[in-house]
Amino acid sequence: MFRLHFENQVYSKAEDFEVNPNDLPEFAQAAFSFCKRFLEGEKTFSQSTSGSTGIPKQISISRLQIEASAKGTGSFFKTDSDSKLLCCLNPAYIAGKMMLVRAMVWNSEIHLVEPSSNPLSGVDGDFDFVAMVPLQVQASLKDERSLQKLKSIQQLIIGGAPISSKLKANLVENGIKAWQTFGMTETVSHIALAEIGNKELLYQTLPGVEIGQDSRGALWIKSEMSGPSPIQTNDLIELRSETSFVWLGRVDFVVNSGGIKLFPELIEQKAEEVIQELFPGISFFFIGEKEDALGEKLVLFLETLESSSRVKILKERLSDVLGKYELPKKIYFSPKFVRTESGKINRLATFNTL
């Protein structure tokens, strides 16, 4: 039986969620409103896309899509009504909503907590299924109590952004079983998952998901959770089988420098350790800048004040981990990146602030 635990109270039926919104924090308001509508049988839901690669837009998602997504994930992980879930993501966004949907579709118990950077620090008990963003996982790994909670989670899925090479290594070192998700608002959360280990991230599709590539090598998706028509993405992939692929990056961000194609997201993974060592904790990204000779040149953006003393060292260190054509032709400094409402870096908007 579905049961939502929040602040020592238990809610399960539609009428249980008829509470005064002023008595709840915003994240709980979003959760209670959604649960009430879902339990009452609402057929369509409006949701904003993240806006990480374009202008955020409102899209309509059907109940059939939402339920198909939850059932697909349940089948993949073999969850059941005895599974205990934790929702530590904001239910105003699709990832948080889908945690609630999974509990309602699986008839499971779910605990709702504030979506903070270290959500496990104040919870009691162990959980079977939890979804987190990389920032939350990083904070949990640094806190001893949260680390032990993390280790006890049966199935941890991580989404919202690709995990860094350092985070991947920390998860493996601590023996934490976790999965990187692949999906978007239009596909109602993830359509594929990659187990995090020492090997490359090989994404396996959920049951019932069909995938393929267009002429650019970009992924298309057909499934109940993505709606009646196939969805064409701008995600470049290497197709390994009918049900598996390796993600290469966004078509939008591929840099064609003198006829050589460069994939910024993959280069970022290779450069991350060096950049974080010299500029601890900062955000960064690679992007293409127009140039007459090459067409485009690869440049690096760092979210920090300029530090000429470290730039020379950075260039030298990057040459040890990056290929000849992967080295940035220029390094830009920005005190503050432009971000979307959901906290993702808006690369193009940040670049245009130059």
Mean pLDDT by 10 residues, the chain (354 residues): 95 92 90 96 83 64 94 95 96 94 97 95 92 94 94 95 87 95 90 94 96 95 90 94 95 90 92 93 94 91 87 93 94 92 85 86
Instruction: Answer for the pair 282, 309: CB distance below 8 angstroms, yes or no.
Output: no
Domains of the chain listed by start with CATH number: 3-250 (3.40.50.12780), 254-351 (3.30.300.30)
Structure letter (DSSP) for residue 312: H
Q: Strands (DSSP E) along the chain, which ranges?
A: 3-6, 9-11, 44-48, 58-62, 84-87, 109-112, 129-132, 155-158, 178-184, 189-195, 203-205, 210-213, 218-222, 231-241, 244-250, 255-257, 260-262, 284-291, 295-302, 330-333
Query: What's the longest Cα–Cα distance across the chain?
Result: 66
Sequence-ordered list of residues with C-beta below 8 angstroms from that of 42, at least 6 positions apart, any chain: 63
> Among all chains, which residue has been given the structure tokens 């260039």?
315
DSSP 82-138: T-EEEE-S-TTSHHHHHHHHHHHHHT-EEEE----SSGGGG--S--SEEEE-HHHHH
Written as six digits, the tokens of 252 are 């939008």
The predicted pLDDT at position 53 comes to 47
**What pTM did the predictor assign?**
0.83
Percent of residues in the chain assigned helix, strand, coil, to nearest 5? 35, 30, 35
The predicted pLDDT at position 293 comes to 83
Q: At 159, which amino acid appears?
A: G
The predicted pLDDT at position 347 comes to 92
Q: What is the distance of C-alpha 50 from the center of its chain?
A: 11
What φ, ψ does residue 299 adopt, rounded to 5°?
-125, 160
Written as six digits, the tokens of 11 are 């809610």
How many other β-carbons are positioned within 10 Å of the β-carbon of residue 23? 9
The predicted pLDDT at position 55 comes to 57
The predicted pLDDT at position 46 comes to 84
Give the residue among 70, 55, 88, 72 at the shortest CA–CA distance from 160: 88
The predicted pLDDT at position 184 comes to 86
The predicted pLDDT at position 50 comes to 58
